[in-house]
Structure formats: structure tokens, C-alpha cells
Amino acid sequence: MKGSRTRVVITGMGAVSPHGIGVDLLWERLAAGQGAIQPTERTAGKHRVTKPAAVLRDYRAELYLNPDKLVFMDPFAQFALIAANEAIASAKLSIEALDPTRIGVVLGTSSGGDTAREIEADRFFHQGKRRCNPALVSRTNHQSAVGAISMEHGITGPCFVVNSGCAAGTHAIAQAVLLLRSGLIDQVITGGAEACAIFSTMKAFEAMNALASDTCRPFSRDRSGLVLGEGAGVLVMETLASAQNRGAPILAELAGIGMSADAADPVQPTAHGPAMAMRMAVEDGGYALTDVDYINAHGTGTQANDRVETQAIKDLFGDHARNIAVSATKSHLGHAFGASGGLELISCVKTLQEGLIPATLNYLGPDPECELDLVHTHARQTPVNLALSNSFAIGGLNAVLAVSPFRQQLG
Amino acid sequence: MTHLEIEAAIYKAVRKVKPSLTEEPLSPATRFDTYNISSLELAMITFEIEDHFDLDIADANLDTFVDIGEARDLVARLMEQAHGVQVVPA
């Protein structure tokens, strides 16, 4: 925001992605165009399903977390804590030297501990077991990821979880920004975490005809749907004053946030809601629409999302739409629901830092209803001055973040 | 079935819930309060033992017992009552 409002900057990042642990590994693969989607089998009792998905293949939680704590943690909470630990370390955030009551944790998740719930359901309904695992409540509550980070680091300020499906991570980050601007806190750990590539979720999205038959091809002709992903994208954000006082590395500025609802349909998206959220994010940051030069699209690879998101971009930006580079990280990492907002913002920050937009993978050719300046097949080297990160949830709940390189003086 | 078999299953349950005890020597004399085992962890150990032996011991929760030897004796009694399995000391 150009003016007197509290500025919010990003000072640390941590990632758990289908590629493995760490932001460096994630960015290396994104920049190189190495996607993580593979055929993935999930079973429950005698049932099985195999679909393309982007999941961690060689994950060993005990390498990163206290093994005695793992029994209480669903994978989504483990991912969150591992990513938060990296983010806090990279931000050089010495919590013991700060006021822990002025630090918050705000994460987004959609499925929460559904992995643990599905395992227990299998025990009851397929194996005929009688007693429930006493750790089930600890594993399945959505706020467990936030609690784990709070406990690990002694953070005692506002800590809560945001649950708005595919937009949960981006909504959570927006709430974190508002907390910082309000003056209630000085630093916040925020982003999203998800472990949703499980049997029941795969079957649910298959039933909607929303799952891709082969792979995720956002904005491409012959795209057939989304693929499930998993992981966590967590960032440390703080007021500019806090970052400068403690000499923190400033990676980028979280310039603006936008949130809206379509108020239209339980499933089908509309263009006006996403357009409104994008406009709000740009204007909230004090920018003009013509300042936007890159959009990290929601880009799920479904027919409806990509067509409607294209329409929203065209409706909002008009002629300037052709000047905006667009790409979709989900072609690499799948759709990790609440985690996607965090992982995609991390990708945006790296894009600002490196001047490189990762390619949208699996592109087969243009769709006349998705005419955008799509960065596909090959990454594009270009400076980016204002990027938007879009997240749109089923039910028409939209959240958008505007992020820019940090400049001491705003123009 | 022998006491040793029951003890081995209890050790396995304890170490599954508390992996940090994998290298720790456990014995019938090991007290449950030795390693800061919380009430929830004890409930999970109970759950693992129930699962292993197909027993329902919720009404005689392990947290009323001081050490692994007492837990073993309870499991032995329940195995005889519930499954008619004769448990011998060794």
C-alpha cells in the first residue's frame, strides 16, 4: 500500500512438496520443469483406485521430527511443522529473543487429518476392529498443525486454522496479513498444509468427473481435470519495522490481499468473483491493474476452472491481459488444496527473486477459450514487478495475494 | 502362551508409541512412570496391546498398573478369560 499503512514483508519460506523437503529442491525442480505427477494407487479394504497424483514418495518423517511426537500427528501436521521449521530457520527468527505473545500462526487446510480418519475407518468397517485409536482426535483435528508449530517454538500469540478448501492457504495468508496490519502481532508463521491424496478423496473427486485421466494440463486443449497433490508451503511474514529491527532477510513484499465470494453455485465457478478478488488484491497494494505482469493462476486443469479463470483475467484486465504472463504450478505439484496457496506463493517469491517464471507443464496446444500469454513447456526468463497468486475454492470462495519485490521506497 | 510372549508384545507396543525407547532395556520391572509416559501414551499402549491380543481391556486400564509385570499379569488373566488360553510363566 502506498501510504502510511503497515507494510508486510516475507522473510522466510519452507516447503514440503512431492519433490521432497525444502524450498531449494522445490525451486530447482520447478525451474527445470520437472513435474511430480505419477500414477498413484490408493486402497481401502478390498477397494483400490489408481490415478495420477503428486505425492511424496520417499518421505520419512522421523528424519525431520521427534519420533515420539509422530504418533499424535497426521501427515498434514507433520508437513506443516517441517515446513515451518525451515521457514523459521531461513528467516533467522529467534523466537526466544522476541515477545512470543506477538507472534502468530495461521495456516490453511482443507482435509486436515483425513488420512488418520480414513485409516481408522478402514479398521472399523473393513477389519472389524472394536476400539478406536486414542490418538485419533489428536491426529484429525484441523488445528493440530498450528498447535504443533506453536508448541515446538513456544509461540503464544493468535494461532488458528482457516478451512476454505482449495483457497484455505491463501485465505490464511490474507488473515495473517490483516493481523500484522492491525498491530496485534509483529511476526506470523503462515501458509497451508495438506495430505489429501487418499483413497476416499480420490474416489470423491473421481465421482465428480474432476480428476484427470492422464495428467494435469492447465489451460491446454484436451485437459481432463485436476490431480491431487500434498505437502505444505509455509512462510514467515512480519511488519517491515520488525524485519528491519532484527536485520532479517527480506525476500519480497506481500503487497495486497483480495477476497470475494461468487454467491452463485455449489460447484461451478463464475468469472466475476475471481475478478473481484484480483482487483481487490491489486488495489489493496496501491497498484494499478496495468502494473500486474505475472499471474500464478489457480489453474487446476479442469475444463471449467481454466475457462472461467481466463474469462476473469480478460474481464478484469481488458487489453492489458495480453501483457500478463500466466502459469500454473499445479501442472508440477498437483492440487494440494490448502497447501497450494502456500506453495504457489513461494513459487511467486522465487520468481520475483530469480526473474524466472516456471513453465506450465503438459501443454498440448491452445484452447480457444483459454487465450492467455501462457508460459508453457519452457520456463521464461523475465523480470516480474507485481505478481498475483490466485486460489479459488469450490463453492466460489476466492482469495488472491499480490506480491512484489521489496523496495525501500514505494514509487 | 507364555509370559515372555506377552512381555515381548508389551515391549513392542511401548516402543511403537515411544520410538525413542527402541534402544532402552525394558523388563517386567520397568515402571510406566520411568520414561515420562503420559496418560494418552498409556492409552495408546493399551490400544496396541488390545489390538495385538484381540482383547478388550479398556475397563481395566493399564494406568492403574505400576509396571510392565503387572500389565503382563492382567493380559494373562484376560487371555484365559476371553480366549481360554492357558498362560504359563515361561
B72 pLDDT higher than 90: yes
Q: Which of B20, B41, B47 sits opposite A133 (nearest CB)?
A: B47
The whole-number pLDDT of residue B66 equals 84
Residue range A31-70, pLDDT digits in tens: 999 999 999 999 998 899 999 999 999 999 999 999 999 9
Residues A158 and A29 reside in one and the same domain = yes
Does the distance separating the beta carbons of A135 and B19 come in below 8 Å? Answer: no
Taking the C-alpha atoms of residue A370 and residue A216, their distance in angstroms, rounded to an integer, is 15
Mutate to test the interface with A, among B51, B54, B56, B59 (most CBs of A within 10 A): B51
Q: What is the pLDDT of residue A411?
A: 62
Q: A232 and A262 share a domain?
A: no
Main-chain dihedrals φ then ψ at residue A358, nearest 5 degrees: -60, 150
- The catalytic site residues of A sit at 166, 298, 335
User: Is residue A321 domain-shared with residue A360, that is, in the same domain?
Assistant: yes
Number of domains comprising chain A: 2
| Alpha carbons A196 and A111: distance in angstroms, whole number | 6
Is the domain of A241 the same as that of A262?
A: no
Q: What is the pLDDT of residue B34?
A: 85
H or E element, residue A119: helix A114-125
Specify the pLDDT at position A49: 97
| Mean pLDDT score of chain A | 96
Q: Which of B40, B44, B56 is facing A130, going by the closest CB pair?
A: B56
pTM: 0.96
The answer on pLDDT for B87 being more than 90 is: no
- pLDDT tens digits along A179-199: 999 999 999 999 999 999 999
Task: Give domain status of residue A290, yes or no.
Answer: yes
- pLDDT at site A110: 97
Q: Do A70 and B51 touch (CB under 8 A)?
A: no
Chain segment B23-69, per-residue pLDDT in tens:
999 999 999 888 888 888 988 999 999 999 998 886 665 667 788 99
CA distance A150 to chain B (A): 20
Same domain, A128 and A166: yes
Same domain assignment for residues A261 and A382: yes
Distances (CA, A) of A268 to A229, A272, A336: 21, 12, 19
Q: What is the pLDDT of residue A314?
A: 98
Same domain, A197 and A318: no
Cβ neighbours of A71 in B, within 8 Å: 16-17, 41, 44
Whether A410 maps to a domain, the answer reads: no
At residue A2, the pLDDT reads: 52
d(CA A406, CA A335): 29
Same domain, residue pair A35 and A109 = yes
Q: Is B64 on the interface with A (CB under 8 A)?
A: no
Do A205 and A262 lie in a common domain? no
Model confidence pLDDT, tens digit, residues A287-342: 999 999 999 999 999 999 999 999 999 999 999 999 999 999 999 999 999 999 99
Residues A290 and A400 in one domain: yes
Say whether B51 and A130 touch across the interface (CB within 8 A). Answer: no
pLDDT in tens, A248-289: 999 999 999 999 999 999 989 999 999 999 999 999 999 999
Q: Is residue A235 domain-shared with residue A262, that is, in the same domain?
A: no
Residues A292, A149, single domain; the answer is no
Sequence-ordered list of residues with C-beta below 8 angstroms from that of A205, at least 6 positions apart, any chain: A211, A225, A226, A228
What percent of chain A has pLDDT above 90? Answer: 96
Say which CATH number the domain at A387 has: 3.40.47.10
Whether residue A1 is predicted with pLDDT greater than 80 in this model: the reply is no
User: Is A390 within the bounds of a domain?
Assistant: yes
Pairing mode of beta strands A8-17, A252-261? antiparallel
Domain-located, residue A4: no
Domain of residue A22 covers: 9-245
Cβ burial, residue A212 (10 Å; 0-12/13-18/19+): buried
Note the pLDDT tens digit of each residue in A223-252: 999 999 999 999 999 999 999 999 999 999
